[in-house]
Amino acid sequence: MGEPRTGEATAWEELPDHVGPPRLRAAQPFDDFYSREFASLVALARALTGSTTAEDIAQEAMIAAYRRWGEIEQLDVPAAWVRRVCANMSTSLVRRRAAEARALLRVGGLRREHTELAPLDEDFWLQVRRLPRRQAQAISLHYIYDLPVSDIADTLGCSESSVKSHLVRGRTALSRHLSTDDEASS
């Protein structure tokens, strides 16, 4: 199946199901996928970047999926693919944040506003972002999506033992920096 073709798909979707070549029906599953996943994908990007550009990162990950939807939809868990792309884009962006911030200063008021989190919650994600890249990704996937270790491993493309290690180290660091009961009792 080829990539969904935007313009044609829009027109065909208004016709009965039996009309039109089957490949064009791919547009609808993608839209469902998008509608189901996009908001949480933005949350993942925001968790990992803390940036008002989170929606753009999530959109870019979705665009990447859209461009290859014929392949992506064949995967066991298409969402895992797009989450991995989003997570990698987000942490890559973190490494470039100094440059991006300088660039965005030139743009002035074009940045999109978003609702602020409560200070306690914002501080939690700030500490997550200070973790090493893989730890931050594993922690974010674990808590935002409530994913088990095996699914995180599938998403990040690494072994379950690696994920366990990232989670343990990440959680230890977070407990220390956030002064939670875990740290107090340890």
Partner 1 sequence: MNLDDRARTASDALLAVTRDDVRVPDALDRLHHGRTSPVRTGLAALAVVALVVAGLGGVRWSAEHLRGSAPAAVAPSPSTRVDLAVPFSVVLPAGWSRQVYGSAQAVLHGPNGFYLEVVVDPSPATAASATTQKLTAESFARWIAARTDLWAATAVMTTVAGQQAWQVDLLFGPDARPSATCDGPGVDCLPLIRIPGVTLPLGLADGTAGRATIVQLGNGRLIAMTESGDSQHHLEEVVAAVQPVLDSITFDHS
Main-chain dihedrals φ then ψ at residue 146, nearest 5 degrees: 55, 45
One-letter amino acid at 22 equals: P
Cβ proximity to partner 1: between 10 and 150 the closer is: 10
Three-class SS state of 108 = helix
- Show the tokens assigned to 120: 């306690």
Nearer to partner 1, 111 or 159 (CB): 111
> Are 133 and 90 in contact, with CB atoms under 8 Å apart?
no
| Least separation in angstroms between CB 137 and partner 1 | 14
Residue 179, phi-psi category: left (phi > 0), alpha (psi -120 to 50), beta (remainder): left
Per the structure block, which two tokens stand in for 4? 């969904």
Q: Which of 123, 159 has the CB closer to partner 1?
A: 123
Nearer to partner 1, 95 or 161 (CB): 95
Q: Of the two residues 62 and 152, which places its CB atom closer to partner 1 in the complex?
A: 62
12, 24 Cβ separation under 8 angstroms: yes
Residue numbers at the binding site for partner 1 (CB under 8 A): 3-7, 10, 31, 34-35, 38-40, 42-43, 46-47, 52-57, 59-60, 62-64, 66-67, 89, 92-93, 96, 99-100, 102-104, 106-108, 110-112, 114-118, 120-121, 124-125, 139, 143-144, 171, 174-175, 178, 180-182
Closer to partner 1 by CB, 38 or 84: give it: 38
Cβ at position 133, least distance to partner 1 in Å: 15
Q: Please report how close the Cβ of residue 143 comes to partner 1 at its closest, in angstroms.
A: 4
Shortest distance in whole angstroms from residue 110 CB to partner 1? 5
In the bound complex, what is the minimum distance in angstroms from residue 140's beta carbon to partner 1?
Answer: 9
Quote the least distance from Cβ 25 to partner 1, whole Å: 15
Residues 6 or more apart from 169 whose CB is under 8 A from it? 132, 135
What's the CA gap between 123 and 37, in Å, rounded? 25
Helix (H) and strand (E) counts for the chain?
Answer: 11, 0
